[in-house]
């Protein structure tokens, strides 16, 4: 075990940096398979509260390196000063790092009398805390969970159809724990753990190279995903539609030409401009587009209607118009972006009043609606909007409600050309594999893509261009284990973590390492 505290600090900081390098846009996923082991080595033999500091530093480095796009959003599009934008990023980094601090505190406490006990508990604790971070009321933020670092490999990705993303996180965490145990252990136990590490390595390698044997589906339909490529703006003048009439005409021509070529489904992204069906000018254009293209038309709009407190309130919505131009489906976004579409704790966070374009904030929807695409044999689809793609259980709800196709509308223009869009599409891709559904993802400026039920990108459009993508897709009605049972593994890890803590509290050695003595 490492006794020299500067070495522990370097390991914790290096662990956070190594894990960050496993994610976009650094894209060195191999680093994820040893990054957490570095943190566990730093924790071995440490007292609980100093260990919490090590975990916090790990998180601070990791989140600062992977969430720099937060600063861009707040500074460029939120209208905040340099200091305030940096403050928002710092606040989010601190909040997220508290979870790695809690992980480190409990893992070190469990391992006070036996490092192997702390290592054994580590994967369960990690998943339990990822699960908790996902489900924090109002401000859950499951961005860049550990398993996403391994999800780019098609073979490993298939695990999520059984366990959801938490299964990949568990696999990576468990591998790191075995590695740390081999490096710290001795004697017969070390040899036994080394044998398990060799077996696990072999299984991972087989899965990695097994991607070539995954079935290749043959889709029957083609959707036309239109990438609008409008510059991002926090507000729009009243004459925006007139100023941009030529660009809207161009988009309409793209859409109609694609629909005439192969009628079916035309899709525009999450609202990148003041699109609303309450606006007679846009409504007329949308209805004509649906009729002229002989296609169902799915488009992101701002829906205005009476809110919960009276008066008109905005909803971030997706509307489907049939071939006659009649609106037949409307979904209101349920999971809104904190500090982007609404401001939590607004009474206390007075600086945040400039972060939303609408004074009253967007209102959340409440129903996981499933619609029908008449021009595709009456197939059922579910649409989720932007930020909702990072919530596995929420996307699953559309599938359990009968969706045989998933559509994701997004406007990633807020991110600029940071790592944000690449991280976002990587997480959306996992939703397709979890549920074994085709995923059509249409964005304002990229990444616009079609993803098959196993997680393959089968068609992509270049970023930052105005264009149309012929996106193959189909409908599937079979249910994966994850779709049927949801986050069963995460709940199991939470229960196992409680068992580890309970056993430690009941053990005779409790007095030697009791929590939470400083």
Would you please indicate which residues are annotated as catalytic (active-site) residues? 270, 333, 386
Q: Are 156 and 172 in contact (CB under 8 A)?
A: no
> What is the token pair recorded at 34?
């040893």
Question: What residues pair up with 226 in beta bridges, in sequence order?
Answer: 468
- Which alpha helices (DSSP H) does 436-487 contain, by range? 481-485
> What is the token pair recorded at 173?
């965490």
Rounded to the nearest 10°, the torsion over CA 459, 460, 466, 469 is: 10
What would the 3-class secondary structure string for 485-496 be? HCCHHHHHHHHH
DSSP 84: H
Q: At residue 226, what are phi and psi to the nearest 5 degrees?
A: -100, 125
Distance separating alpha carbons of residues 432 and 140, to the nearest angstrom: 21
Nearest CA to 80 out of 346, 339, 419, 347 is that of 339
Distance separating alpha carbons of residues 298 and 249, to the nearest angstrom: 17
DSSP 207: H
**CA atoms 110, 112, 114, 115: torsion sign:** positive
What does 127-186 look like in DSSP terms, one character per residue?
A: HHHHHHHHT-TTT---TT-GGGGGTTSHHHHTTHHHH-HHHHHHHHHHHHHHHHHHHH--
- Which alpha helices (DSSP H) does 333-406 contain, by range? 392-400
Q: Which residue has the tokens 């649409």?
A: 383
> What is the token pair recorded at 299?
């488009």
Give the pairing type, strands 439-443 and 406-410.
parallel
Task: Count CB atoms within 10 A of the CB of residue 498.
Answer: 12
> What is the token pair recorded at 321?
């118009």
**Residues 342-354: b if buried by 16+ CB within 10 A, e if exposed:** bbeeeeeeeebee
What would the 3-class secondary structure string for 220-285 be? CEEEEEEECCCCCCCCCCCCHHHHCHHHHHHHHHHHHHHHHHCCCEEECCCCCCCCCCCCHHHHHH
């Amino acid at each position: 075990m490492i006794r020299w505290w500067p070495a522990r600090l370097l390991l914790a900081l290096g662990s956070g940096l190594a894990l960050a390098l496993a994610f976009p846009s650094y894209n060195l996923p191999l680093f994820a398979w040893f990054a957490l082991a570095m943190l566990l080595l730093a924790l071995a033999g440490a007292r609980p509260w100093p260990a919490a500091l090590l975990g916090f530093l790990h998180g601070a480095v990791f989140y600062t390196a992977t969430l720099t796009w937060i600063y861009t959003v707040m500074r460029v599009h939120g209208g905040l000063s340099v200091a305030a934008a940096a403050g928002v990023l710092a606040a989010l980094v601190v909040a997220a790092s508290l979870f790695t601090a809690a992980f480190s505190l409990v893992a070190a406490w469990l391992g006070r009398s036996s490092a192997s006990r702390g290592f054994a508990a580590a994967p369960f604790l990690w998943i339990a805390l990822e699960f908790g971070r996902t489900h924090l009321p109002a401000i859950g933020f499951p961005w860049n969970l550990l398993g996403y670092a391994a999800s780019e490999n098609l073979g490993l990705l298939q695990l999520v159809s059984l366990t959801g993303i938490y299964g990949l996180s568990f696999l990576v965490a468990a591998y790191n724990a075995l590695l740390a145990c081999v490096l710290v252990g001795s004697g017969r136990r070390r040899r036994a753990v080394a044998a398990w590490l060799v077996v696990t390595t072999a299984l991972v390698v087989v899965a990695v190279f097994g991607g070539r044997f995954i079935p290749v589906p043959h889709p029957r339909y083609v959707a036309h995903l239109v990438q609008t490529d409008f510059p991002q703006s926090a507000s729009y003048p009243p004459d925006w539609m007139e100023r941009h009439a030529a660009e809207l005409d161009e988009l309409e021509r793209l859409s109609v030409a694609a629909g005439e070529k192969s009628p079916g489904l035309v899709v525009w992204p999450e609202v990148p401009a003041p699109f609303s069906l309450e606006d007679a000018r846009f409504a007329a254009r949308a209805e004509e587009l649906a009729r002229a293209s002989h296609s169902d038309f799915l488009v992101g709009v701002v829906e205005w209607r009476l809110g919960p407190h009276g008066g008109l309130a905005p909803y971030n919505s997706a509307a489907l118009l049939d071939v006659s131009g009649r609106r037949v489906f409307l979904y209101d976004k349920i999971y809104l972006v904190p500090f982007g579409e609404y401001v939590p704790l607004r009474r206390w966070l007075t600086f945040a009043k400039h972060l939303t374009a609408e004074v009253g904030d967007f209102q959340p929807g409440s129903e996981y609606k499933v619609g029908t695409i008449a021009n595709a044999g009456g197939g059922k689809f579910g649409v989720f909007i932007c930020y909702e793609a990072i919530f596995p259980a929420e996307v699953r709800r559309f599938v359990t409600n009968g969706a045989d196709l998933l559509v994701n509308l997004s406007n990633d223009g807020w991110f600029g050309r940071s790592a944000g869009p690449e991280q976002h599409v990587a997480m959306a891709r996992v939703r397709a594999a979890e549920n074994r559904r085709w995923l059509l993802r249409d964005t304002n400026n990229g990444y616009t893509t079609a993803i098959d039920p196993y997680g393959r990108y089968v068609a992509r459009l270049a970023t930052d261009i105005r264009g149309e993508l012929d996106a193959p897709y189909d409908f599937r009605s079979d249910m994966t284990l994850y779709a049927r049972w949801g986050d069963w593994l995460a709940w199991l890890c939470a229960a196992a973590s409680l068992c580890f803590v309970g056993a430690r509290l009941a053990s005779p050695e409790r007095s030697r390492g009791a929590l939470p003595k400083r």
